Amino acid sequence: MVRYAEPGAVEWVESGGGPLIAVPETVLPFWTGADGEDADSDYDRACEVDGHVGLLPVGDATALILGDEPASTTYLPEHGTFVRWCAADSEDEVLAGVPAALDTAEWQPEVAWNVPGPVLLFDAAWPGDASERAGRVRVALDPGRYAVRAAEARPGPETWLGLVRLRRIDGA
């Protein structure tokens, strides 16, 4: 697997070239990745998501697909945002650019995502049960309904980020 981000201040998830997925822990065993027995695997379904984000049913829940760029991705809970490292010279540059990126981003329309609790972010090609070997990040979300919106932003001349922001919308 290609590694674009060096270990540092946060944990980054890498992709072998396809989309990343945030799967609720409660349905992790139901995600078969590229190992599905059907003609169209779960990974194939994830690859069909057009654009920056999409939702796919997994078991009795829904997973969030981070499509478009196979960029190194982390979750910053203080911003409620998945940050995708598209271009920057360092992790410090990426993290320093997040506030400006959030302020200047041109957001795409929201989608609503019902979350039963914590999710695991990993390369969608991996089966859920094997995702720990691929490298994953646990995102401690409270159960509820979230508005999800995506954007690309360039907070500096050499810095380009993908953003996927989550906002709780069920009154909490």
* pTM (two decimals): 0.90
**Cβ distance 153 to 161 under 8 Å?**
yes
Closest CA to 150 of 76, 80, 52: 52
Compute the distance between CA of residue 79 and CA of residue 68 in angstroms, rounded to an integer.
21
Q: Which tokens go with 60?
A: 């009795």
Burial group, residue 54, by CB count within 10 angstroms (0-12, 13-18, 19+): buried
Q: What is the 3-state secondary structure (H, E, C) of 61-124?
A: EEEEEECCCCCEEEEECCCCEEEEEEECCCHHHHHHHHHHHHHHCCCCCCEEEEECCCEEEEEC
**pLDDT for 45-94, tens place per residue?**
999 998 899 999 999 999 999 987 788 999 999 999 999 999 999 999 99
pLDDT at 169: 93
C-beta neighbour count of 132 within 10 angstroms: 12
pLDDT of 4 above 50: no
Domain borders along the chain are 20-168
